[in-house]
Structure 1
Amino acid sequence: WRAVAAQLGPAAVTYLPHGLPLADWPPRTALPTQPLIVAVGRLVPKKGFDLLLAALARTAAPPPLVIAGEGPERAALTAQAQQLGVDLQLPGHVAPAAVRDLLHRASLLVLPSRRTPQGDRDGLANVILEAMAVGVPVLTTTAGAATDGLDHGRTGWLVAPEDVPALAAAMDRLLSDPPLTAALGARARARVEHRFNLEVNSTMLARWLRAHHAR
């Protein structure tokens, strides 16, 4: 949408993001008692899960990692985790209710997205909004459209794509600073309520359609 706005001018473009049914994603009421890193997505190169394993192995005290999803990189990720000594769980594709349960147990949602040589990259992933709604801090990269939902240091944490040392340092920082992660999670929930609320955004879309249909 930014490219279109740059061509046509900001006044010609209305950006209305997708939203979540927030009643299905209530904020968690307690922080996890054990550290756990969670990632969700297809096991494909653009997700950067190989980078996540490499970074996790460099952290001061690597916590367990759960990557929920299925895809062609499963065997390679399993072998990499074994080589690095990372505690990796790959439950495969999971239902939305199971994703919600995982997020309630998560210390962080980490999505180290990258742009592939073919130009493929992530949009604003639903799981980012789901984690924000639950109040889980999100650590991701600037390679995709996560910047549409996250403000670095306020509602999430952003690092450069394919920067394994920076990703490891960010995980160490966030895992060692509960007040910071609690504040990030609370502000993320507020951001979703304000900007990515399905009920509110649906009403805005209907209003926009009525206004433009009347022209």
Structure 2
Amino acid sequence: KSRLKFNKIQHGSVEEAFYEAIERRAIASAKKIIIISNSFRQPLFEYGARNEQLHTVYTGIDFNVIENTDKGFNNKLIISCVARLSPRKGHTHLLEALATIKPYLANVEVWIVGDGEMRKELEKQAKELDLACVQFKGERTDIPQILSRSHIFVLPTTNDNLPISVIEAMFAKQAIITTSCGGITEIISHFNTGLIVEPGDVPDLAAKIVMLLVSASLRTRLANNAKAYAEEHLTAKKMVEKIKNVYELEQ
């Protein structure tokens, strides 16, 4: 899988003004604009979009769910975090939170799945914090298998919209802890389909992790609710149906 690389555009530069002009013209000429969460509405309004142009269609996926009644590994609770190792994903906050709750981690493994520019820095941080429970798994292609073993999914992102990894975790029946960034709270309802913390709030993140570690019933309820919501609202079929409906509005 390849990724396109883009050069950064300096704030206030001629390039920024040029691309902003293109975006404004595109918005003005569009009859309909599909957005993946309602968090896009206000920024698009500021670029001249009208409410009647905007149609929210949440990302839908076909996730290869692996049912596993024997979760865990070596009789341990598994916390997973699947994300690129970049500053905005909040891994440093996760490690800081774990360092404050070590008495609860004796029977826990933390699987950090993904790669990126922060890997060496994060490995160093985990070592300095003496977090022997943390394992860096690197980039993987077997995410369904990994999530089938996991009990708790944590994504402490500080800048996101609607992460695919959260949707995957919902299908995989995870008890989810994530943040209020972007459109996340449109699919993760606090104490219903997951737990929400504010970005960068390390003490609350630590408290929510402990809450799930000590309560199997809460883990089960959140996980079941998350999967049910995903199966009803976040499938690829549902996404295609909604996109089709947007096009049919113009006919």
TM-score for both structures, normalised by structure 1? 0.87
Q: Which range moved further: 64-73 or 151-160?
A: 64-73
Where in structure 2 are there 5+ consecutive unaligned residues? 1-39
Where in structure 1 are there 5+ consecutive unaligned residues? 115-120
TM superposition shift of 1:13: 2.5
Letter in 2 for 1:112: P
Letter in 2 for 1:111: L
Give the distance between the partners of 2:243 and 2:121, measured in 1 at CA: 43
Alignment-derived partner of residue 38 in structure 1? 80
Is the Cα contact below 8 Å between 1:70 and 1:93 reproduced in 2?
yes
Letter in 2 for 1:16: V
1:58 to 95, 100, 123: 100
Alignment-derived partner of residue 208 in structure 1? 246
Is the Cα contact below 8 Å between 2:161 and 2:181 reproduced in 1?
no
Alignment-derived partner of residue 162 in structure 1? 200
Deviations 1:60-86 (A, max 9, x none): 322221111111111111111111111
Is the Cα contact below 8 Å between 2:113 and 2:136 reproduced in 1?
yes
1:92 to 121, 138, 141: 138
TM superposition shift of 1:101: 1.2
Q: Whose Rg is larger?
A: 2
Alignment-derived partner of residue 153 in structure 2? 109
Is the Cα contact below 8 Å between 2:66 and 2:144 reproduced in 1?
no
Letter in 2 for 1:201: M
Give the distance between the partners of 2:154 and 2:115, measured in 1 at CA: 17
Q: Which has the higher contact order (CA 8 A, sep 6+)?
A: 1
Letter in 2 for 1:177: S
2:113 to 65, 68, 93: 68
CA RMSD of superposed structures (Å): 1.9
Deviations 1:40-93 (A, max 9, x none): 111111011011011011123222211111111111111111111112211211
Deviations 1:90-146 (A, max 9, x none): 121111xx11111111121111111xxxxxx21211110111011101101113431
Aligned: 1:19 with 2:64: no
C-alpha change, 1:185 and 1:28, in structure 2 (3 Å) is farther
Alignment-derived partner of residue 174 in structure 1? 212
Q: The residue matched to 1:14 in structure 2 has which SS?
A: strand
C-alpha change, 1:102 and 1:78, in structure 2 (3 Å) is same
TM superposition shift of 1:5: 6.6
Is the Cα contact below 8 Å between 2:70 and 2:149 reproduced in 1?
no
TM superposition shift of 1:207: 2.9
Aligned sequence identity (%): 28
Aligned: 1:150 with 2:188: yes
Give the distance between the partners of 1:149 and 1:5, measured in 2 at CA: 22
Letter in 2 for 1:52: L
TM-score for both structures, normalised by structure 2? 0.75
Letter in 1 for 2:135: Q
Q: Where do 4+ consecutive residues of structure 1 move more than 6 Å?
A: none
